[in-house]
Amino acid sequence: MAEQFHCDRCQRAIPAIACCPDCQKPLQVLKTCGVVDYFCRHGHSLISKKRLLLLPAENP
């Protein structure tokens, strides 16, 4: 996923990870034939791109 956050304080880009909006755990990214789907392995099944929760991959 090419999404990222930008920290104004330290002037660096922080990668974003796609997380489940229900449990806030990282989603499994499924890529097939140009389509990207997101799957929660913690019981919330497929998550639409509209419902994704993007969180920083690390704390600045």
Local confidence band at 2 (pLDDT 50, 70, 90 cut-offs): low
Instruction: Report helix, strand or coil for 11.
Output: coil
Q: What pTM did the predictor assign? A: 0.74
Q: Which residues contact 42 (CB under 8 A, 6 or more apart)?
A: 20, 23, 25
Q: What is the largest CA-CA distance in the chain?
A: 40
Local confidence band at 60 (pLDDT 50, 70, 90 cut-offs): very low
The DSSP code for 53 is E
| Residue 24, domain CATH | 2.10.290.10
- Given a cut of 90, is residue 58 above it in pLDDT? no
The pLDDT score that the predictor gives to residue 21 is: 94
Domain span at 21: 4-56
What is the Cα–Cα distance from 43 to 47, expressed in whole angstroms? Answer: 11
Average pLDDT over residues 4-27: 90
Q: How many structural domains is the chain composed of?
A: 1
